[in-house]
Structures are given as C-alpha cells and as structure tokens.
Amino acid sequence: MRQSKALIVVWSLFELAIASVEARGLNAPDALKSDSQTVINEKFREEVEGLAKRRVIIRRGTVEWDEIGNANCYTSDIIITIRRGLDETIATAVEGHELGHAFLCAKGILPINADLTAPLGLWEKDQDDLKTVARAVATCMIEPTVNSEARKRGVDLTPQEAEKLRVQARQSAADLREGARLYGGMFDIQWAVAQFCLVREQPSLNTSKLAEIVSYDPLVSATYMSLEEKVKSVECNTVTSCFEIAKRVRAAAGLDGYFYLQNPTTISLE
C-alpha cells in the first residue's frame, strides 16, 4: 500500500483504515453501552431478515484494504464481513452500519459496482487512484441513507465520527501537495471526490479545515466546486435515484469515460 493512502481514504465513514486507533479495554459504562448496541444490532438484523426473507450472516474476516466492513447482497444469504481485529466498540458500530446496507438491499436498493474502462493507458499509480475514486463515486450518496437507517434504530455511530474528526485534524495542505507531487492529477481528483462525499456523509466535519485543504491545488478546488455546483439537493432513496446520482457525481468530477458504473436494475455497464 502506498504511504499516501492513509491520507486519502476518507470518502466513506466506515471505509477508513483505523490502524492508528489504540487498543483499549472497555470500562463498566462502556461495556454496558456495548451490550446495549449489540441488542440493537440483533433486533436490526432480525428486521432485515424478515424483510429480505433470507438470513443475514455476520462474520469477522478480511476485507478490502480501504474498508473496515462490507455487506454482500449478491449471495443466497446476505453476508456482512467486519474487519478482523477491530476494537469491539468500533466493530459493533460498523456492524450496525453494514446492517443499514443490508436493509437497503432488502428494499431493493442494491449496491452499485464500478468497473474501470480499459484500456486507458494510465500509469499504474493513476490506476490505483482511479480504482479508489471509482469506488467513492459508486457509494458516495448512498452512505448518508445507510447511516440514517442505522440511527433510526438506535445504532451509535459516534466512535467512527470521532475517529474521522481526529484523523481530519492531522491532515494538512502540505501533506496533500506532497501527495500530488508524487502521484499526479488523479490523486487530486480522487481527493476532491473523497472530501465531497465525506461532507455529505458527516456534516459535523470541520468545514473551515476542509476549505483550507481543498484550496491547496487548483485541480482539487475546481473539481470540488464542480461537485458542489452540479450535485445539489439529491436523495438516494430508490435504486434508480441512487444510480442516477452516482452518474452525476462521476460527470461532475470529470470522470466520464474513465470507468463504468453497473446499473443494479439491468446489470448493464453505463
């Protein structure tokens, strides 16, 4: 993994590597809260299973390097995988978030997959950044809906929000200038998309800090402003609306022609 990845994988509230989180034990109040969240998650799982008419299997295991959890709705059972080794409080919240994905799947709002358009003739480093930004575009506007469903059922997402704010506070324009120098223009585009999606997902972020970081490079600033202008007042609440929003985000970032998005309804690549 490139060293800069720790700076740029910020496009999903639950898709942030948390290796910097110190291992800690639960004190008594934390343990009670964790037990309560476990009960909430179990009720949520039962609700999803009743709606989907199939089992929801939750397991610890290996996920993509830029994820800490995922939900696979394209199997006979809905499989939720939580990154092995997470702090229990964080893992419980991730589980609640992924149950939100499973709930939307049960309602017919299926995940959008992204496939790179080949061949593009991009350098390997740009291919890496393109893969990251393609996944961000595919999930950008569905994450707030997922979190909303989880919170409606009492899932506490605070541990992840606090960690996101802490990580953001460490980032600086200087860090990003160095990343752009090393990895080129696709780094800038995917960073702008990451920040745009993160603000939609977590409005409590320090926006003044964000403005400072976004302004570090003309391409980042232009891409971010294009997204702000062209992707407004949108709701991802049906499979069609979520797919159309993803295509709008891709276009606003200037990435049409770089990768396909798979229409969950028709399974065609567009």
Q: Is the pLDDT of residue 204 over 80?
A: no
155 shares a domain with 57: no
Q: What is the mean pLDDT of residues 181-197?
A: 76
Q: Is the domain of 63 the same as that of 170?
A: no
The answer to whether residue 122 is domain-embedded is yes
Res 180 pLDDT > 90: no
Tell me the pairing of strands 56-61 and 69-72: unpaired
Beta bridge partners of 59: 81
**What is the rounded CA–CA span in Å between residue 91 and residue 93?**
5
The pLDDT score that the predictor gives to residue 184 is: 62
3-class state of residue 74 by DSSP: coil
In the predicted structure, residue 159 carries a pLDDT above the cut 60: yes
Domain boundary residue, one of 76, 106, 136: 106
78 domain-assigned: yes
State the residue range of the domain holding 171.
114-261
Which tokens hold the place of 96?
């609640």
| Of 40, 73, 106, the domain-final residue | 106
Say yes or no: 162 and 93 in one domain.
no
Q: Does 268 map to a domain?
A: no
Query: Tokens in use for 15?
Result: 């898709």
**pLDDT (average), residues 70-74:** 91
Query: Once rounded to an integer, what is the mean pLDDT over residues 113-132?
Result: 70
Whole-number pLDDT of residue 10: 36
pLDDT tens digits for range 219-258:
888 898 999 899 976 778 899 999 999 999 999 999 998 8
Q: What is the largest CA-CA distance in the chain?
A: 56
Helix axes of 207-214 and 218-230: crossing angle, nearest 10 degrees: 130
Question: CB burial class (10 A; 0-12, 13-18, 19+) of residue 203?
Answer: exposed
Question: Nearest Cα to 58, choosing from 77, 76, 39?
Answer: 77
The answer on 92 and 120 residing in a single domain is: no
Which residue, of 52, 80, 106, is where some domain finishes? 106
CB neighbours (10 Å) of residue 235? 11
Residues 154 and 83 in one domain: no
Mean pLDDT of the region 98-117: 90
Least confident of 2-11, 92-101, 184-193: 2-11
Average pLDDT of the chain, as a whole number: 78
In this predicted structure, what is the pLDDT of residue 19?
32
Query: What pLDDT is stored for residue 165 in this prediction?
Result: 61
Residues 139 and 92 in one domain: no
Query: For residue 217, what pLDDT is reported?
Result: 74
Question: 270 lies in a domain?
Answer: no
Are both 46 and 121 inside the same structural domain? no
State the DSSP code for 115.
E
The residue type found at 84 is R
Q: Identify whether residues 228 and 95 lie together within a single domain.
A: no
Q: With respect to residue 269, please indicate whether it lies within any of the assigned structural domains.
A: no
What percentage of the chain reaches a pLDDT higher than 90?
38
Q: Show the tokens assigned to 91.
A: 């893992």
Number of structural domains the chain divides into: 2
Q: pTM to 2 decimals?
A: 0.77
Residue 267 lies in a domain: no
145/236 same-domain check: yes
Are residue 140 and residue 101 in the same domain, yes or no? no
Based on the fold, state whether residues 143 and 254 are members of the same structural domain: yes
Classify residue 127: in a domain, yes or no: yes
Question: What token pair was written down for 169?
Answer: 């506070």
- Where residue 1 falls among pLDDT bands split at 50, 70, 90? very low
Q: What is the distance of C-alpha 230 from the center of its chain? A: 20
Looking at the structure, do residues 125 and 223 belong to the same domain, yes or no?
yes
